Structure 1
Amino acid sequence: MSTDPATASAPESKTNPSTSENKSDDKQIEEKRLDFSNIEIPPKETLINEKGRNKTNVFCVRCPSKILNPRVSKHKSIEFSLPIMKQRRRTEIKEGSGEVEEQDAVKETCNDFWQVDDIYTFENVGFTNTISGFKYLACADCEMGPIGYYDPDSKLSYVALTRVKYD
């Protein structure tokens, strides 16, 4: 038998994947988990009743948590830019100083929202700290978001129709 350390460690390296392979697998799993392209949003005409309210229950796109009960929010066509849901925190190291600086989140413009007049109407929603004058809304169970925003000045909350699913 050989006592050469290089020979002794060779079988271990064949059975244990390298760190870079693990990171690649983790990234693929994360991207698959955050892919919501398969969520079908029904036509908004089928979601809004004759009084302009939500017809159905509203749920988180990631977990089975209920966000809103039927007929508790009003449809509003307004324009607001929300950070996209499937992004990681982006940071950059400043040249020379080595300090870490956060970059702005990539945003998308949403045009249709459920307006909620009272925060106690929600079934399961969490609120972020105030960012640029607004608080973002997220699922209280899995923390997926932002699904909408809260305006502290008007005391109204808005849930984007395209950021949730329906029964």
Structure 2
Amino acid sequence: LSPCHGQGHPRQPQTGRNLRAVLCQRCGSRVLLPGALLLPAMRKKAAAAAAGGGGDVLREHWLVRDMFSFENVGFTRDVGNVKFLVCADCEAGPIGWHCLDDKDSFYVALERVAHE
């Protein structure tokens, strides 16, 4: 991932954490507070790459390590071993995902949210 220095989703250079609150693009509801997220380097697993399939390719995600950090997010029913994250107010989404194999990792796609 390249560093995010644009106006849309700036992060603190030293910590990689978000400087602005994360909002629902549709209704403006606050999803996460500033400083709650980390932007990790993502790697695509070989199995996922081979599977292909439709959908959007999302390359940058905020990483949330504690589900209680969220201000306002809902979870879908399980789809395989994944739950998708949606805005709890307007149910827009998915704005991110959570793999049930890793209980402490919740990913919010930068392209699916706004920043205050």
| 1:48 has 2:11 as partner | yes
- State the AA in 1 paired with 2:108: V
CA distances 1:51-81 after superposition (whole Å, capped 9, x unpaired): 100110000000020001001110023267x
Name the structure with the higher helix share. 1
- Divergent runs of 4+, >3 A: none
- Report SS of the residue matched to 1:150: strand
In 2, Cα distance between equivalents of 1:69 and 1:112: 18
Q: Which runs of no fewer than 5 residues in structure 1 stay unpaired?
A: 1-42, 81-104
Q: Which runs of no fewer than 5 residues in structure 2 stay unpaired?
A: 45-52
Partner of 1:163: 112
User: So what's the TM-score if we normalise by structure 2?
Assistant: 0.80
> What number of residue pairs does the alignment pair up?
101
Deviation of the 1:106 alpha carbon: 4.2
Name which structure has the greater RCO, CA cutoff 8 Å, separation 6+.
Answer: 2
| 1:140 has 2:88 as partner | yes
- State the AA in 1 paired with 2:68: Y
Larger radius of gyration: 1
In 2, Cα distance between equivalents of 1:65 and 1:141: 7
Instruction: Output the aligned Cα RMSD.
Output: 1.7
Name the structure with the higher strand share. 1
In 1, Cα distance between equivalents of 2:78 and 2:41: 23
User: So what's the TM-score if we normalise by structure 1?
Assistant: 0.57
Within a 5 Å distance, the mapping from 1:115-126 to structure 2 comes to 115-126=63-74
> Identity of paired residues, percent?
40
